[in-house]
Chain A
Amino acid sequence: MIKSFISGNTAIAEGAITAGMRFYAGYPITPASEIMEYLAEKLPRIGGVAMQFEDEIASINAAIGASWAGAKSMTATSGPGFSLMLEALGLAVITETPLVVVDVMRAGPSTGVPTKTSQSDIMQVRYGAHGDYVIPVFAPWSAQEAYDLTIKAFNVAESLRTPVILLSDAIIAHLWESVLVADPGEVEIINRKKPSVPPNLYLPYKPDDDLVPPMAVFGEGYNVLVESLVHDERGFYKQDKTTYRNLVNRLINKVLSKIDSIFEVETYYSDDYEYLLVSFGSTARSALAATRALRKSGIKAGLLRLKTLWPLKLEVLEKYCGEAKKVFVIENNTGKLLYDIERVTEDSKAVSLPLLDLEIPEPKDIVEGVKKWL
């Protein structure tokens, strides 16, 4: 374990290296570019490839191709680039390709304010691609957690054969903090399952009991079929309703069935709160400061911080929100996580505090917002 003073973007790059990532493809974009710059220097020295492509579309497709050649792969971008990657995100879903996609959020819509922060992509990362699917989304609030959740993102991507989103933002990207970087063997690293049968018996999309098919890759003699069309267990295109339903349901259920290991929250003052603040990512840092300030002024506030933004374990949210008189959803957008909290609270219990700030929100703005309702 080495203690390093690094930025959130560097922490993501280091986390990816720790996880075993050896193929990175990207396209420059603020505020994510440092991830590629760091990896371009470091990856070739450890036998990996880091390459700048002609656009984000090429980047994610190359990362998917590399994953099928056996490399753990990643790409990183910001909102505009993520929008371009959405079609290929669906490709990774239906072909069950382990892949980590980092979205370092900035203010939008469109070019927006490239250098300033935002949390407005939380719907895009969940729902952006066409078709029905569920993919995990993790949102770090510190450089250390950017490192840790990147490793988790790879472990989930590999074990479930799915794309996983690491949702950072411009504040975390350029925040320098001490980060404990693990030595080899110090953290659990999960690799995709390999087939246990010979090529003539291998069906590329036949799942085990955990709903995840073992993955043969190019060059192993398995005659792998990567298929973007709806397909059966052989990888053959099928247009019938049964095949379609079976595939889509399995792709979703293989993720949902692991929700206990995917879904993580952190709580502060969870023993005796009356008012619960719910937040995530960099904004949760301000929400924690606000929670402490409210406590100092005698208001029994608590904080629920979501590390996983998708899929959500609603029972957990329901439990924490159920114990509060009022729930304040604090996010740096126009109010999007709010919809999830409204789903688990009775009428008018959830209050939206949409901050729509370009900087990290001021704790006093949150305190004032909460106090208006008391």
Chain B
Amino acid sequence: MVVSTVEKPHPLDPYLRVARLPHIWCPGCGIGIALGSVMRAIDKRIKEGTLKKENVVFVTGIGCSARSSFYVNFDAAHTLHGRAIAFATGAKLAKPELEVIVVGGDGDIAGIGGNHLLHAAKRNMDLIVLMITNFVYAMTGGQVAPTTPLRLYTTTTPHGNPEPPLNTVRVVSSLNANYVARASVTHPILIEQYVYRALGMRGFRFIEILSTCPEVFGRHIGIRDPLTLYNHLRSKVVVKQSPSIEESDLDWERGLVIGEYLIRDNPSYLDRVRGRLE
């Protein structure tokens, strides 16, 4: 029996391409929680009149998180693996009134796209980058990712991962970004708050969102049940009001510290470009 998945309107339906639902994400995947929180933040900005719907552009690369551009009812681009930030930079510079939001996984944003991430942050480029970290390459079936914990067995580290995880929060904070935060799908309200704040700012705004992947990462760490994995991540997450960069390492023993690491209002790339010929 086919059961309709859209029986009555959802409050976020105006921001979704409802015709494309159901989405491809696995049961227990955290991306939907993250995207829902992002939509609520956008909704709040649109309703209060500080953001125009037609100016919102989602730019994504390739990967599970990148599929977000399929489902959002905004201008959207599903581009190349790793290149979303570069594409987004071109779009923003060509039409500065756009609010360009990049969504991607940690492999997409910090792995193959790492160079673009560095340079966008260095420029304080007027973009929002949401990096959904699931600690593994999930779409391709479970290979080691930039954020995979040390010693973990993955399909390409069958003898254990010899590399410590990349602390992208520390990397981006060391550059000229105006906003750096880490959130978690275990705390959706905070995702919404951080994205809401970022939408009201200028310059480069980076939010890492820790997420659950029971299907692939869960299999690697022996927790395949979505709820158990969710609660496991929740037990590791430590919420701090003003965390220091020093405690931002992805350390599963001491806790994964989420919070707003950096908030400042430095002139953005566009501000600096605009001033040059005057």
- A→B interface (CB under 8 Å): 22-23, 25, 44-45, 49, 51, 53-55, 57-59, 61-71, 73, 87-88, 91, 95, 217-229, 236-237
Contacts and interface: CB of A to CB of B under 8 A. Distances in A.
A66 B91 contact: yes
B52 to A, nearest CB: 9
29 contacts: A23-B90, A23-B93, A25-B90, A49-B94, A54-B115, A57-B83, A58-B89, A61-B79, A61-B80, A62-B86, A62-B93, A63-B90, A65-B59, A65-B88, A67-B90, A68-B87, A69-B94, A70-B95, A87-B80, A91-B83, A217-B95, A218-B57, A218-B91, A219-B55, A223-B73, A223-B76, A225-B69, A226-B78, A228-B80
A91 B226 CA distance: 36
B80 A91 contact: yes
A277 to B, nearest CB: 42
B75 A88 contact: no
B116 A223 contact: no
A237 B78 CA distance: 10
Given A73-B94, A95-B77, A226-B76, 7 more contacts: A62-B93, A65-B88, A69-B91, A69-B98, A91-B80, A221-B54, A236-B70
B97 interface: yes
B119 interface: yes
Contacts of A53: 86, 89, 119
Nearest to A237: B70
Nearest to A45: B277
A206 to B, nearest CB: 15
Interface string B51-79: 00111010100100000011001111111
Contact of B94 (A66, A91, A221, A228): A66
A219 B98 contact: yes
A315 to B, nearest CB: 37
B128 to A, nearest CB: 15
A59 B79 CA distance: 14
Interface string B198-212: 000000000000000
A372 B57 CA distance: 63
A58 B83 contact: yes
Contacts of B118: 54
Most A-side CB within 10 Å, residue of B20, B53, B77, B119: B77
Most B-side CB within 10 Å, residue of A62, A63, A67, A236: A62
Contacts of B89: 53, 58, 62, 65
Contacts of A217: 95
Contacts of A228: 62, 78-80
Contacts of A51: 93
B276 interface: yes
Interface string B247-278: 00000000000000000000000000100110
A203 B222 CA distance: 45
A87 B87 CA distance: 13
Interface in B110-141: 115-116, 118-119
A64 B85 CA distance: 12
A66 B97 CA distance: 13
Nearest to B83: A61
B76 A65 contact: no
A58 B98 CA distance: 19
Interface residues of B, number: 38
Nearest to B118: A54
A212 to B, nearest CB: 19
B98 A218 contact: yes
B203 to A, nearest CB: 16
A73 B90 contact: yes
Contact of B86 (A65, A223, A227, A229): A65
Nearest to B62: A228
Interface in B161-217: none
B95 A69 contact: yes
A69 B116 contact: no
Contact of B79 (A91, A220, A224): A91
A221 B54 CA distance: 5
Nearest to B66: A228
Given A54-B115, A61-B87, A68 B276 contact: no
Closest 8 CB pairs of A and B: A65-B90, A62-B90, A226-B77, A66-B94, A65-B87, A61-B86, A69-B94, A66-B90
A64 B90 contact: yes
Contacts of B87: 61-62, 64-65, 68
B15 to A, nearest CB: 10
Contacts of A218: 57, 75, 91, 95, 98
Contacts of B115: 54-55, 58
Contact of B76 (A66, A88, A225): A225
Given A44-B276, A54-B116, A218-B57, A229 B90 contact: no
A42 B97 CA distance: 23
A59 B98 CA distance: 20
Interface in B14-64: 17, 20, 53-55, 57, 59, 62
B94 A23 contact: yes
A112 to B, nearest CB: 24
